[in-house]
Each structure stands twice: as C-alpha cells, then as structure tokens.
Copies of this chain bind each other. A is one copy, B any other.
C-alpha cells in the first residue's frame, strides 16, 4: 500500500472510532443519558413514519430477532418505543416511537447533519461528487465481498 493509502487507512480507522466516541459523549451530555449507542441506532431503525415490523427492524440492524426483542423490551421500559400487535395478522408486531423516542430521533439526525456538513465544508460540488464516488467504490467492494 502507498504511504498515502496507509495514511488514509489510519485516518479512516481514527475517524471511525472517534465518531462512536463522540456520539457516546453527546448522549451522556443530553437528556437521553439512559441510552447506549446501540439503542439509539435501534431507535433510528424503528424510524419516524413507517410502522416497521420487528423482523424488518432486526434485518435492518443485522441482528437476530431474539436480540431485537430484548432491546425492544428495554426501549419500551425506558419509554422510547412501543409495540403494536397487528390486527391483520396477530403474529406480527409493528414497532413505533413514543414522543420521547421521536425527540431522540431528531436529535440524532441533527448530529449527523452537522457531521456531514463539516465533512464536506470547503468542497465544491464537483469535489463532493468525487467523495461520493469513493464511497460508492467502497460500498461496491463491501457488497461484492458479502
């Protein structure tokens, strides 16, 4: 690997770790101290509008149904999410966010918005496209190897 490639690898790894760390510390400073990052990502996957089913959310998060079930138990207990049994097919559970869950969702969205804005600041439209192309490359590599 070229020195530049090595540098980019190191920066990717550093950025990767620092994102989690910052997300974690932002939570602890907020009114949502009782949530872990994983729980926030679960809230994100439940989403605002569509009443996704348990299986759909589990798939989106790439965890087993059992894992999701446990974490939904916790989110319900903490007042962020709710279960709604479908009337069409009573095996199916639709997941939704409570008012508090939706608040959390919006806070996390805004964090992401800020992050991406800083990522792209000083870059013109053409340069942004290039970054997007690199991300597409990486996504292609990841899909190919799955």
Contacts and interface: CB of A to CB of B under 8 A. Distances in A.
B1 A117 contact: yes
A135 interface: yes
B121 A4 contact: no
A6 to B, nearest CB: 8
So how many copies of this chain end up in the complex? 2
| Main secondary structure on A side of the interface with B | helix
A13 B108 CA distance: 13
A18 B129 CA distance: 21
A103 interface: no
B119 A137 contact: yes
B131 A130 contact: yes
Given A112-B9, A117-B5, A141-B119, A135 B16 contact: no
